[in-house]
Structure 1
Amino acid sequence: MSKITIITPCYFNELNIPVYAQRMIENESTFPEGVTFEYVLVDDGSKDNTWAELEKFHASYPHKVKIIKLVRNFGSTNAVYSALPYATGDCIAIISADLQDPPAIIAKMYSHWQNGYKLVLANRTNREESFVQKLMANITHGMVRKWGLSNLPAGGFDLNLFDKEVRDVIVTMDDKNSFFPYLLIWLGYEYVSIPYVRQKRELGKSTYTLTKKIKVFVDSFVAFSFFPIRLISVLGLLLGSFSLILIVVVVISKIMGGVPITGWSSMMAVILFVSSFQMIGLGIIGEYVWRGLESSRKRPNYIVDKVKQ
């Protein structure tokens, strides 16, 4: 039978880890007999007692639990990257420590992997969250799906399972400033998705702040879409066409003896409009240039402080 590795990034999850440990061990009974398990949990620079709780989980199941501590917070995607080299399973699942994604789905995902799929996703059909949270998530995912990765499943996903072959490809890529779930889709493997409802968080407080959400949104566009750059070109052509038409109107008006379009207010309006477009364009280009600079520096995506395996 096969071995499955379950990777979980942790950030300020001291309340969640004991519940997570119990639920995951109980969930093993939903798999076919003979399947072996490996858990790789990463403390992504937490400042609470997350690491202490991970040590307790490791002490209880030293034969199947590996824990990694990063020197600081590098983000959930980089936390997953840090765990992949330690994953020795035939397939790997990624699940969050807050258990908003039900662990019971992993067994269904595993059965699809047994049938030959190298990538299996659990896509959200709904979320037990506030209207604002759902609206922001749907807008972000919808825009990336429309202008970046058209083969994304509707509703988005976090919980996923993939073959060790996919893991090897990701490790060798050493991708930077990306979003791990979208990277899986970008690879191009045929996948199957399982619909589910994302549950409300029961313990602890989410650290997925507005700033982090914006970063994920920008990273997703820059990493997987050329739409912002193309948009600048289109707007530039439209603005240039508008300026040319305005020049023709002014010249014709002057020739015909009419009153030319002049005046301080209209002049300032045009200047401010063009200047704002230039600043926005430079900002978008800067996002691409910055990520190219980050990649060229060859800095590591994460730095490991300690490992227990």
Structure 2
Amino acid sequence: MPKLSVIVPCYYNELNIPITGPELIANEQNFPPEVSFEYVLVDDGSRDGTWKALLHLQAQYPERVTLVKLAGNVGSYNAIVAGMAAATGDCMAVITADLQDPPELLAQMYTYWQQGLKLVLANRADREEGFGQRLVANTFHWLMRRIALPGIPSGGFDMVFFDRQLRDQVVRMQERNGNVFYLLVWLGYPYVSIPYRRRRRQVGKSRWTLSKKVKLFVDSLLSFSFFPVRAISVLGMLLGGIATLYGVFLVVLRLGGAPEPQGWTTLMLVVLFVSAFQMIALGVIGEYVWRSLDAARRRPMYVVEEQRPAASPGA
């Protein structure tokens, strides 16, 4: 009997849990009758009533719901890894707590898994969001396709379905400051992608702030690409070439007796431009060095404050 573990990271989702839980349970009717279910909900350091809502959900479905409470907020991707570590299913899926991603897709993703695919993605072909949000999201995923992971589906994906083998490999890596969804793709297994339209959030307020989006972009780019360092090298050689040409130009002027260009403003612009490039280059290199230091410390990705496994059947 195959067992499906559905991992749900939760952060300030007090209002979402009473809606999300029953809808996930109702979605079980779309699966073959032999499938059993486990729902692993991870409280990512929420300071509202999310944990109480999760406890109430577990009281309603004690044999299906496993709860993990993290001591502090470590980000949704680390919380997902915590959920992976607690999950016991033969296959697993990740879905958001606000139901912007439709649970109905899980049955179709399960069918692909039965056919032998170890990874199934649901990519956002469209989204019911404002123009600004769509622009930022589409730009981010376009850059990642061009620079870091060529061939990933356009529009991005926050809903994935994967085999326990992939779960074991990701949990064993314990990779910090990364993107767990991209890491699943990076493993190299063949996958299929299902396009869908992402819903508008109906309940609660999103905590996905601009600063978190910027950090995700930087983490994803540096985790899967050396493009920033290579760009520094290319720009450095370009500036060196320009400086060489300008030096040759000055020598020609001197030999020809022509007046040389003068001016404090021009000199300061050149100095400021080169200094800015140097500081940016140091910043990029520093990001790589900091991530190496963070990995060398070997601190845990998360700290579990409390874990409540699902009750055994018949207990």
2:168, 2:155 → 1: CA distance? 27
1:94, 1:159 → 2: CA distance? 5
1:83, 1:187 → 2: CA distance? 19
Contact 1:123–1:196 (8 Å) recurs in 2: yes
1:130, 1:283 → 2: CA distance? 32
- For 1:98, the aligned partner's letter is D
TM-superposition CA deviations, 1:79-109 (whole Å, max 9, x none):
0111112111110000000000000000000
- For 2:191, the aligned partner's letter is Y
Does residue 303 of structure 1 match 2:303? yes
2:85, 2:295 → 1: CA distance? 20
1:262, 1:289 → 2: CA distance? 41
1:111, 1:5 → 2: CA distance? 15
**151-160 vs 223-232, greater mean Cα deviation:** 151-160
> 4+ residue stretches of structure 1 with deviation over 3 A?
none
- Secondary structure (helix, strand or coil) at the match of 2:63 reads coil
Aligned residue in 1 for 2:60: 60
- Secondary structure (helix, strand or coil) at the match of 1:202 reads coil
Aligned residue in 1 for 2:135: 135
Tell me the CA shift for residue 155 of structure 1: 1.3
1:100, 1:67 → 2: CA distance? 21
1:162, 1:291 → 2: CA distance? 27
Unaligned segments of structure 2, at least 5 residues:
310-315
- For 2:26, the aligned partner's letter is E
Tell me the CA shift for residue 255 of structure 1: 1.0
Q: TM-score, normalised by structure 2?
A: 0.97
Q: In percent, how many aligned pairs have the same letter?
A: 53
TM-superposition CA deviations, 1:170-223 (whole Å, max 9, x none):
111111100111111111110001110000000000000000000000000100
- For 2:228, the aligned partner's letter is P
Aligned residue in 2 for 1:171: 171
Contact 1:124–1:155 (8 Å) recurs in 2: yes
- For 1:252, the aligned partner's letter is V
Tell me the CA shift for residue 112 of structure 1: 0.3
Aligned residue in 1 for 2:257: 257
Does residue 184 of structure 1 match 2:184? yes
Does residue 147 of structure 1 match 2:116? no
Q: Matches of residues 1-309 of structure 1 in structure 2 within 5 Å?
A: 1-309=1-309
- For 2:224, the aligned partner's letter is F
Tell me the CA shift for residue 262 of structure 1: 2.4
Tell me the CA shift for residue 292 of structure 1: 0.6
2:133, 2:239 → 1: CA distance? 36
Q: TM-score, normalised by structure 1?
A: 0.99
Unaligned segments of structure 1, at least 5 residues:
none
TM-superposition CA deviations, 1:282-303 (whole Å, max 9, x none):
1111111111110001011000
Q: What is the aligned residue count?
A: 309
TM-superposition CA deviations, 1:20-74 (whole Å, max 9, x none):
0110010000001110000000000101100000001111111111001111100
- Secondary structure (helix, strand or coil) at the match of 1:21 reads helix
2:147, 2:46 → 1: CA distance? 35
1:89, 1:263 → 2: CA distance? 71
2:188, 2:145 → 1: CA distance? 14
Contact 1:41–1:54 (8 Å) recurs in 2: yes
Tell me the CA shift for residue 151 of structure 1: 2.2
- The RMSD of aligned alpha carbons is 0.6
TM-superposition CA deviations, 1:205-264 (whole Å, max 9, x none):
000000000000000010001000000000000000000000110111011011112221
1:266, 1:86 → 2: CA distance? 62
Contact 1:126–1:196 (8 Å) recurs in 2: yes
Contact 1:151–1:185 (8 Å) recurs in 2: no
